[in-house]
Amino acid sequence: MDFFLLEKTILGLFVAVFVAIAISKHCGKKFKLPPGPIPVPVFRNWLQVSDDLNHAIDTTLSSIEWGIAELVNHPESQKKLREELDTVLGRGVQITEPDIQKLPYLQAVIKETLRLRMTIPLLSHMNLKDAKLSGFDIPAESKILVNAWWLANNPAIWKKPEEFRPESFLEEESKVEVNWNDFRYLPFGVGRRSCPGIILALPILCITIGRLVQNFELLPPPGQSKLDTLEKCEQFSLHILKHSTIVMKPTA
């Protein structure tokens, strides 16, 4: 299956889910506009919403792509994940959002994908007032970039950080949650400026990866033992350099 085709398919599903959620939240409510001109810059706000949605789609799709690539390159992790899904849910029972909390290895696979292949490696912040940190003077309105990728790949903090090891998130000393204030691991940022898309991204990642592994054995293309996982850097994000074709062998 071509990664580009998968990306377009998931993009359509993502937008459909987003629209369905928005409609369901307002279902049954009647809105009445006030008389006169609308005092809201609708066009500008729509562009902002559209821009935010595009960023959310792009980063989520990139993480799905990285997750698939890592599972193709690590068949033992893929097998272990499939065994957990079949054991906990039953063979042929498709994963849904309430099931995620019962699947620690699936959660570990997603966490490890976000750690090793962090789509947004630099988190931008700006201080409103003059500040001092570790002896450094930081003038007001400075643009500060926090290297979240290095925090999640620092060998002083993580065992073998260059390897894809979902098991590390099941070890007591490495247990962290994506949305907690643990500065070893900040794929969505932290605090008031953290990414609000976490409530959609994590379930989408878990369900998409989970269902793919439930229904297919993910394999490299004929003649290859692994996929090329070299990275390319865009303005503020990291993506897989080459969109590879993979073989999806039905498990049933």
Q: Write out the binding residues for heme.
A: 195
Q: Which residues fall within 8 angstroms of residue 237, CB to CB, at 6 or more apart?
A: 58, 59, 62, 119, 120, 121
Q: What's the 3-state SS for 171-187?
A: CHHHCCCCCCCCCCCCC
Q: Which residues pair with 137 in a beta bridge?
A: 132
**Who's near 184: CB < 8 A, 6+ residues apart?**
151, 152, 154, 157, 158, 176
- How many alpha carbons lie under 13 Å from residue 51 in its C-beta half-sphere? 6
Give the residue from 27, 12, 95, 28 showing the smallest Cα distance to 61.
Answer: 12
